[in-house]
Amino acid sequence: MDKMIYADNAATTAMSERAAKAMLPYLTQIFGNPSSLHTVGQIAKEELEKARASVARSLGCEPREIYFTSGGSEADNQAIRSAAETGAGKGKKHIITTAFEHHAVLHTLKKLEKEGFEVTYLPVGSYGYVTAEQVKQAIRPSTALVTVMYANNEVGTIQPIAEIAEVCRAAGVTFHTDAVQAVGHIPVDVKAAGVDMLSLSAHKFHGPKGIGALYCRRGVPLRTFIEGGAQERGKRAGTENVGAAVAMAVALEDAVSGLTENAAKLVKMRDRIIDGLLKIPHSRLNGGRENRLPGNVNMCFEGIEGESLLLLLNEKGICASSGSACTSGSLDPSHVLLALGLPHEVAHGSLRLSFSESNTEEDADAILKAVPEVVEYLRSISPVWDDLVKGRRKHLI
Amino acid sequence: MALYSEKVMDHFRNPRNVGVIEDADGVGEVGNAKCGDIMKIYLKIENDVITDVKFSTFGCGSAIASSSMATELIKGKPLSQALELTNKAVAEALDGLPAHKMHCSVLAEEAIRAAIKNYYDTHGIPYDKSEFPDPSDADEHPADED
């Protein structure tokens, strides 16, 4: 394998040099516990608060509205649990979400259902969008929370967050958005969007793993998620990961300042790859083309299975992902693709490519050469494709 | 990738006996496209001996490797021996499969049995029907928690 092409940036990104460099001193030199009164501790505390202020600036909010967490999943868990408990205290036990949220949201909601909450899962249509009108129609007097992702992690569709926030505000319902795939990739301003709570994760925008944040608007009640010390204004105990918070702040500053330029480059690459791969017969793009994350490509190829596609692309040095059952470790293909209405047999043959600004047009060339080759080979050994070609089975796409 | 043994990757990269036998004496197809794997096995049989075998598979890496290995294990063998091939033997010959991929080796065993049954059926050869239970399909998958 000569050169590796990393096209799985929605899974995780490489840390930027600047973020890594910012983090290093905290491993050995600036090691203090921000809760300590002595100088060593207070230096760490000062840097932690600078990082908080920086993250707040990048998102358009006040520092006190930022709570550091271990990542996006924890932020989602805390936001949903907190709003549910607050709602339940007022006798409100209804939650609205979409059918294609991340599992950090869906599994938390499943658990709440077992605890007596009722959850409405809004359909996302064949292109992967919900509307503010759908949310409006679903809101009841007993609705405690609306949680809708900013952008979908698999198919990259961007939801009308500001419009949904407006509907929620008018109805007096708390609105949370899982913005893990959006922050650093598309403009996110929490005040302009009007959201009450927003989750983000550093490793999706070239920051370190193990750190994220929850934005919680002033005035929105937030429950303590981890009991213990008084860190994070008493809402999340545990000695702070100062170096990671500092690195996240740096990565976010860079992502936000380079956003327009990077997005323009990625959109060009993305569209070229989509157009190129759509030339493969019986292929389809999953998720709409408008309002789509700049670096997201998600396709299905009929008659083949996603895991074997990934393994063969890996042999050619291309790292991607798939929504097939065999890659998810479950028996069903991706719930996101099923939510778009794709039949199981088609959803098994999916490929997600997600790019960052470090990908090049040469990477795109290599992908446009490799994917059609691998699809053609796998079809040549597939009894399903044979049936499709010979008319024994009907084409679904 | 470390998910699979070198043997699995070898049979996945360079599958043996891929293809179709147009005038096959027995053909067996098992699995379900909805579940993400289908295996089809073609047999050429002379004097109760498998003289040629080909397969085509829609499925993951271990499904393709299991098909390839299973065809290698029965090629040139008498039917009686082919019928004794177990999914465990296929998995062992591949230096093991991850636990959640063992069903791929089960499919390979079942595809061979289905092809032999088809040979008996189409050639009017009597056999003990109790030895050929219906192959597993989608219904055998436990329901997902969601």
Q: Is A346 on the interface with B (CB under 8 A)?
A: no
CB contact (8 A) between residue A307 and residue B61: yes
**Does residue A330 sit at the B interface (CB-CB below 8 Å)?**
yes
Q: pLDDT, tens digit, for every residue of A194-215?
A: 999 999 999 999 999 999 999 9
**Are the beta carbons of A382 and B60 separated by less than 8 Å?**
no
Residue from A145, A140, A281 nearest A223 by CA: A145
Residue with the larger pLDDT of the pair A329 and A245: A245
Indicate whether A292 pLDDT > 90: yes
Which residues are CB-contacts of A277 (< 8 A; sequence separation ≥ 6)? Answer: A283, A297, A299, A368, A371, A372
Quick one: average pLDDT of B97-123? 95
- For the entire predicted model, the pTM comes to 0.94
A187: pLDDT strictly greater than 70: yes
Average pLDDT over residues A81-97: 98
* Ranges assigned E (strand) in chain A: 5-6, 66-69, 94-98, 118-122, 143-147, 174-178, 197-201, 212-216, 283-285, 296-301, 318-319, 350-354
Inform me whether the pLDDT recorded for B44 exceeds 70. Answer: yes
Tens of pLDDT, residues A14-54: 999 999 999 999 999 999 999 999 999 999 999 999 999 99
Residue A323 and residue A101: Cα distance in Å, rounded?
Answer: 14
Q: Are A309 and A367 in contact (CB under 8 A)?
A: no
Counting DSSP H helices and E strands in chain A, the numbers are 16, 12
Asked if residues A192 and A203 have their Cβ atoms less than 8 Å apart, the reply is: no
Cα–Cα distances (Å) from A234 to A45, A86, A223, A254, B118, in that order, read 15, 17, 9, 30, 70
The secondary structure of residue A198, as a DSSP letter, is E
Q: Which residue, A185, A219, A222, is CA-closest to A201?
A: A185
Whether A320 has a pLDDT exceeding 80, the answer reads: yes
For chain A, what is the mean pLDDT? 96
Confidence of residue B35 (pLDDT cuts 50, 70, 90): confident
* C-alpha radius of gyration, chain B, whole number: 15
The pLDDT of residue B48 is above 90: yes
Contact across the interface for B35 and A307, Cβ inside 8 Å: no
A-B CB pairs within 8 A amount to: 76
What CA–CA distance (Å, rounded) separates B58 from B74?
A: 21
Q: What percent of chain A has pLDDT over 90?
A: 96
The pLDDT assigned to B135 comes to 64
CA distance B35 to chain A (A): 7
